[in-house]
């Protein structure tokens, strides 16, 4: 069954364009078995549509955390370090949100976020977390942690598919003109300039997490990334594609809609010093699911709990096992997306814009043929596709043959609400056809090698850093406690990164114990 009011061919055309739709619909084409994976949307709508509930039963707790994503799990981890046990109430059946992972006998694999940037010496608590996980090999003379080689993203890290063949890296250097290369040099010099900047306190204008950044570049938030590129004469199609890709990849936006501050953050925050290579990327076969699993290991998590309200007095009203329950807590950390937090607390603050995502895990019994014998990379991008391509879960372990799992990503950089409405009711077969047609760009024989496909649609996948959203009063208002209720989520940085969610979890934990 296709989405409501739309045929499968039209669904394919909506997501991949007319050329792909023309190849859709052959009765001879195999659709592998698979499933649509729940992302908590049904229970989320239950919370949204619920009428006032008066619990007959009340319990007490020291600290309650609403939401078992990275921010909530990070807050609980930080509280345990301070001798405080928190009770985590999670809507879904699985903790971790978009950072969670899955596993089969072949390999573990991600369901969303799949890497972090190696921490700098100032990120002491993230270093401590990675130390607990055995991810730190040693410490450099300047205090910077040296990451275990097994977790540094294995070469080749990324490649791009263009006109029938793969090219290493994301910038398409093959066939670039002298002007293309000159513009790339100008752009890199600008990024180097930002990497060199320091204020009187030694802060950089772009740092991860952004709470470590200075305000030196705040004015850039008033224009789009595309306008900033225009203002610097950077019109090269190859460079503009790279910048659009960066915005789609991290922000579910195009450069024309992205805050210039956020667009430059993507590049400059990852550069340690002028001219230096980007900071090391850490990844696991299950992506950030490895971090989630460690944070959740000793946490007190109750899943399938629909929280309906949180009061300034610390009263949490929820549905647990279908029955109303009230919890009176000394402190509450609301670690949900900001639009959910506002609904729970009655807070009247504009909570920003959210983008939709589709993520699929494609289970293959064998690798399809590689044209031109191009070596598989960790991140494999189709330059002419609206998808982001796929990440290979077995790449980090050096397994070049045999069964594997590819995690395929599709952002919806337009109107998030419109995307959710257009895709409502789409069935597994519709999504499977889109995914397979996209992969068939580079692998004509892939369909027959797929054993199973799992598809997840994240209707509110991430907050998006549109122009004018990164500075001003809104984010500060969203972070401010309301009585006994404190707030933690990556939304409160305006950008969706593990490091931001973890940072806000740490901050909320400090507020609770202060």
pLDDT at 25: 60
Pairing of strands 390-392, 404-412: antiparallel
Rounded distance, CA 470 to CA 468, Å?
Answer: 6
Under CATH, what is the fold of the domain 154-279? Guanine Nucleotide Dissociation Inhibitor; domain 1 (1.10.405)
Q: Which two tokens stand for residue 106?
A: 């072949």
pLDDT of residue 26: 56
Report pTM.
Answer: 0.94
Note the pLDDT of residue 44: 61
CA proximity to 405, closest of 105, 35, 95? 105
Provide the pLDDT for residue 46.
60
**Closest of 300, 293, 292 to residue 86, by C-alpha:** 300
Distance CA 509, CA 498 (A): 17
| 332 φψ region: left (φ > 0), alpha (ψ -120 to 50), beta (else) | beta
Predicted confidence at residue 1, as pLDDT, reads 42
How much is the pLDDT for 351?
75
Question: What's the average pLDDT block by block, 10 residues per block, for the chain (514 residues)?
Answer: 67 87 70 88 61 87 97 98 96 93 96 92 94 94 90 94 94 96 97 94 94 96 98 98 97 97 96 74 95 96 96 96 94 96 89 90 94 86 96 93 96 85 86 96 95 93 94 91 97 96 98 94
Are 326 and 315 within 8 A, CB to CB? yes
The rounded radius of gyration (Å) of the Cα atoms in the chain is 23
Q: What 8-state DSSP symbol labels residue 491?
A: G
Q: Which SS3 state, helix, strand or coil, does residue 89 take?
A: strand
Spell out the domain ranges in the chain.
8-30+354-463, 42-95+299-353+466-513, 154-279
Q: Let me know if domain 8-30+354-463 sits in CATH 3.10.620.
A: no
Max Cα–Cα distance, the chain, nearest Å? 74
Residues sharing a CB contact under 8 Å with residue 31, sequence separation 6 or more, in sequence order: 429, 432, 433, 436
Domains 42-95+299-353+466-513 and 154-279 share a fold: no
Q: Quote the tokens at residue 448.
A: 């027959």
| DSSP secondary structure of 263-278 | HHHHHHTTBSSTTPPB
- What token pair was written down for 191? 């990024």
The class level of CATH for 42-95+299-353+466-513 reads alpha beta
Considering Cα of 468, then 469, then 473, then 476, what sign does the dihedral take? negative
pLDDT of the residue at 509: 98
């Amino acid at each position: 069954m296709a989405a409501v009011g739309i045929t499968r061919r039209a669904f394919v055309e909506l997501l991949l364009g007319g050329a792909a739709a023309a190849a859709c619909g052959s009765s001879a084409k195999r659709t592998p078995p698979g499933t649509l994976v729940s992302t908590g949307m049904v229970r989320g709508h239950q919370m949204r549509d619920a009428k006032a509930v008066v619990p007959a039963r009340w319990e007490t707790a020291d600290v309650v955390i609403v939401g078992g994503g990275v921010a909530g799990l990070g807050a609980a981890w930080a509280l345990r370090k301070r001798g405080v046990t928190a009770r985590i109430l999670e809507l879904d059946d699985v903790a971790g949100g978009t950072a969670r992972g899955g596993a089969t006998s072949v390999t573990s694999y991600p369901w969303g976020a799949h890497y972090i940037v190696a921490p700098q010496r100032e990120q002491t608590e993230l270093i401590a977390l990675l130390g607990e996980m055995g991810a730190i090999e040693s410490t450099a003379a300047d205090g910077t942690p040296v990451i275990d080689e097994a977790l540094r993203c294995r070469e080749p890290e990324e490649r791009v598919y263009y006109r029938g063949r793969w090219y290493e890296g994301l910038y398409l250097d093959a066939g670039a003109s002298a002007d293309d290369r000159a513009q790339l040099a100008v752009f890199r010099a600008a990024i180097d300039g930002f990497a060199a900047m320091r204020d009187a306190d030694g802060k950089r204008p772009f740092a991860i997490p952004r709470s470590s950044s200075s305000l030196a570049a705040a004015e850039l938030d008033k224009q789009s990334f595309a306008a900033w590129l225009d203002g610097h004469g950077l019109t090269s199609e190859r460079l503009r594609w790279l910048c659009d890709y960066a915005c789609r990849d991290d922000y579910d936006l195009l450069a024309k809609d992205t805050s210039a501050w956020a667009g430059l953050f993507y590049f400059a925050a990852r550069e340690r010093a002028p001219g230096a290579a980007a900071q090391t990327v850490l990844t696991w076969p299950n992506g950030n699911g490895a971090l989630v699993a460690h944070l959740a290991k000793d946490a007190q998590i109750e899943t399938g709990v629909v929280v309906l309200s949180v009061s300034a007095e610390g009263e949490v009203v929820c549905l647990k096992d279908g029955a109303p329950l009230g919890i009176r807590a000394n402190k509450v950390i609301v670690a949900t997306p900001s639009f959910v937090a506002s609904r729970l607390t009655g807070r009247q603050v504009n909570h920003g814009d959210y983008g939709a995502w589709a993520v699929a895990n494609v289970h293959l019994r064998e690798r399809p043929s590689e044209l031109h014998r191009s070596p598989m990379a960790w991140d494999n991008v189709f330059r002419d596709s609206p998808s982001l391509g796929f990440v290979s879960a077995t790449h980090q372990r050096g397994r070049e043959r045999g069964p594997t799992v590819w995690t395929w990503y599709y952002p919806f950089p337009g109107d998030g609400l419109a995307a959710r409405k257009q895709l409502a009711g789409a069935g597994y077969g519709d999504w499977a056809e889109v995914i397979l047609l996209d992969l068939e760009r580079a692998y004509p024989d892939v369909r027959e090698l797929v054993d199973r496909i799992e598809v997840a649609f994240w209707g509110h996948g991430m907050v998006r850093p549109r122009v004018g959203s990164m500075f001003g009063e809104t984010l500060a208002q969203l972070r401010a406690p309301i009585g006994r209720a404190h707030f933690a989520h990556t939304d409160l940085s305006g950008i969706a990164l593990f490091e931001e969610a973890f940072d806000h979890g740490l901050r909320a934990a400090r507020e609770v114990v202060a």
